[in-house]
Amino acid sequence: MTTSTHSNDTSLRARLAASVAAHWRTALGFAIVLLAWELLVRFFGIKLYILPPPSTVLVTLWTKRATIGAAAWYTGQPMLIGYAFAVLVGVALALSFALSRLIESIVYPQIVFLQIIPKIAIAPLFMIWFGYGLTSKVLIVFLLSFFPVVVSAVQAFRSMDPDIRDLARVTGASPARMFFRVQVPHALPTMFTGFKVAAALAATAAVVAEFVSSDRGLGYLLVDYTNRFDTPGVFAAILVLSAMGLVLYAVVEAIERISIPWHVSQRIDAGMAAAT
């Protein structure tokens, strides 16, 4: 038991070390860009309202932490709720398309048409229909995040190798067992691609909703700070918004690693991290 525990601890430390090693170049790249930004702004004497240095943005973020923190909490609610609904509804629809070509032929073209319509154009309609509260913002996030989930999930359920399906049937697998043990695992890698794209869009969608009409949230702060030429405040709000999107993306990616550790993409990433 002790040997097994020690082995697990060693493996965990090795994975953490590999993860740190795999990302140090990225961190170094960001550090170089930020340092160059800081030096160039100060060297050329660029005004703060045009382009503030990173140090000023961080100071502003700390000074306005209460205001920006409250705005981030408000923006995060429709962002997470809308994204969750996009994943659930998108996967359910994709599954219905896989099971019925009739449903797909009727519904899928309408989804494509809905995606073509600019969301910023229909956002005011949601405000009229559902008011200026949480519901309208959740719907906008849902619409912007929904399409990548549906497309990737449809492709995932369609791309199953017929030989694998036939082999599962020959071995006597029931339809339910074949679905949960064969089709779903085979579809997950492609589906997670859509989940990650949707996660990257969710933060943008939440701010778009607040741009249309809101008296709170990061979108409101961006408009307010811009009107007051508070460029450091704008950058501070953008930094927090980007961090929120990055965290959501990282959570989805972590779930992907846990869900499909056997997939070739995960093995390649682990091998590259170990080599680094």
Looking at the predicted structure, is the pLDDT value of residue 3 above 60? no
Domain annotation covers residue 141: yes
SS3 of 21-75: the string is: HHHHHHHHHHHHHHHHHHHHHHHHCCCCCCCCCHHHHHHHHHHCHHHHHHHHHHH
Alpha helices, DSSP H, located in 100-183:
101-116, 119-130, 134-158, 162-170, 175-178
The reply to whether 5 and 78 lie within a common domain is no
Residues 10 and 79 in one domain: no
In tens, the pLDDT along 58-102 reads 999 999 999 999 999 999 999 999 999 999 999 999 888 877 888
pTM of the complete model:
0.80
Q: What is the mean pLDDT of the chain?
A: 81
Phi, psi dihedral angles at 117 (to 5 degrees):
-65, 125
Instruction: Count the Cβ atoms, other than its own, within 10 Å of residue 142.
Output: 22
Range of the domain at 236: 48-263
**CATH number of the structural domain spanning residue 242:** 1.10.3720.10
Q: Are 24 and 116 in the same domain? A: no
Q: Based on the domain organization, do 38 and 52 belong to the same domain? A: no
Q: What is the pLDDT confidence band of residue 26, given thresholds at 50, 70 and 90?
A: confident
- Do 189 and 110 share a structural domain? yes
On whether both 42 and 53 belong to a single domain, the answer is no
Q: Is residue 88 part of a domain?
A: yes
Residue pLDDT, tens place only, 40-56:
998 888 888 888 999 99
Please check whether residue 270 lies inside any domain of the structure: no
Q: How many CB atoms lie within 10 A of CB 143?
A: 20
Name the residue with higher pLDDT: 255 or 7: 255
Residue 276 lies in a domain: no
122 lies in the same domain as 40: no
> Do 88 and 9 fall into the same domain?
no
Q: Tell me how many domains the chain contains.
A: 2
* Residue 96 covered by a domain: yes
Tell me if 268 is assigned to some domain.
no
User: Which region holds residue 16: left if phi is over 0, alpha if psi is between -120 and 50, else beta?
Assistant: alpha
Same domain, 152 and 240: yes
Kindly state whether residue 275 falls inside one of the protein's structural domains.
Answer: no
Q: How confident is the model at residue 5 (pLDDT cuts 50, 70, 90)?
A: very low
Residues 38 and 128 in one domain: no
**Does residue 175 form part of some domain?**
yes
What is the average pLDDT across 238-247? 92
- Per-residue confidence band for 249, with pLDDT thresholds at 50, 70 and 90: very high
Q: Which of 25-29, 55-59, 68-72, 271-275 has the lowest mean pLDDT?
A: 271-275
Higher pLDDT, 194 or 262: 194
Residues 173 and 232 in one domain: yes
pLDDT for residue 270 is more than 90: no
- Same domain for 34 and 89, yes or no, is no
